[in-house]
Amino acid sequence: MDMLTITNLEKRFGDKEVLRGLNLSVPEHSVFGFVGRNGAGKTTTMKSVLGLLRPENGEILVSGERVSYGQTKTNRFIGYLPDVPEFYSFMTPREYLALCGQICGMKKTDITTRGARLLELVGLEDEKHRIKGFSRGMKQRLGIAQALLIRPKLLICDEPTSALDPVGRKEILDILLAAREETTVLFSTHILSDVERICTNVAFLHEGKTAMQGSVAEIRNLHASEEFTVETGREEDVEKLLQAFDGSVRKERNLILFRGDKNKMFSVLKYIADNQIAMQKVEKMEPSLESLFLEVAKP
């Protein structure tokens, strides 16, 4: 089942077309990376899902229910973390979650137990300082806890790691991965390494449309490279291989790139064995998400 389905979504601001027939399907309990350059329309898409923008055309379904502009009925299914979350800075994390729970009509006992569990999930269970002294990473973690408070079916995070250092990014990604156990996670980003780290599914947004989408494994298999590298133990063996196989390219001192399918690889390995060449490593080249995105996002 798809937790979020977007069909032919169009949105413009004045004469600028931001979304041009966007289609997107987010499977239930996936960690879905929504990838695009800055200004590509990721935030516009998310605000449309939340019913905060009126699209010119298209349909959005959350948990099977249609999203209507200005009517937030479907938002009962959604937890949302904006790119720059804001808080009441004079509160502690526990006080802030308690306020959010009261606004949402949660029972006091549920607020206490749920709040404590979420603060533990995001690593703020022992934090008693007021939010005004929090770092950007701490605020992002508290924002995720707040977004998960009502047990949403869909957690939407807009560029949650873009302004964080490597340690902060890892902390947020680990939290999002853990959150998958109880919800579907959709987060926008332009950092491809974050997607490769935790995502089960991905969509590339380019010129207002979905240029490519699917599971990470499926996308890589469909665009599998027919290249492999061989690293030898001795530099003189590199010359033998370069002379024996046309089209081979020396990449580093002892590293050669070959182009061809598995039969070509077997031929190279047979030559290495027959000539008793000391081999350090053979590796099939797999396309990175970065290379795939650059391919579909060509001007």
Contact 69, 239 (CB under 8 A): no
Q: What are phi and psi of 54, to 5 degrees?
A: -95, 110
What's residue 229's pLDDT?
Answer: 87
What's residue 295's pLDDT?
Answer: 72
What's residue 225's pLDDT?
Answer: 64
What's residue 289's pLDDT?
Answer: 78
Please tell me the distance from the alpha carbon of residue 296 to that of residue 145, in angstroms, as a whole number. Answer: 35
What's residue 192's pLDDT?
Answer: 87
Please tell me the distance from the alpha carbon of residue 238 to that of residue 234, in angstroms, as a whole number. Answer: 7
Q: Average pLDDT of each block of 10 consecutive residues along the chain (299 residues)?
A: 95 93 95 90 94 95 94 91 91 95 93 95 92 93 95 95 88 93 93 90 92 86 75 86 88 85 86 89 77 72
Task: Give the position of tokens 């970065």.
Answer: 290
CA dihedral 95, 125, 86, 9 (to 10 degrees): -120
What's residue 77's pLDDT?
Answer: 95
SS3 34: strand
Answering whether pTM is above 0.85, one says: no
Please tell me the distance from the alpha carbon of residue 143 to that of residue 293, in angstroms, as a whole number. Answer: 29
How would you class 47 by CB atoms within 10 Å of its CB: exposed for 0-12, middle for 13-18, buried for 19 or more? middle
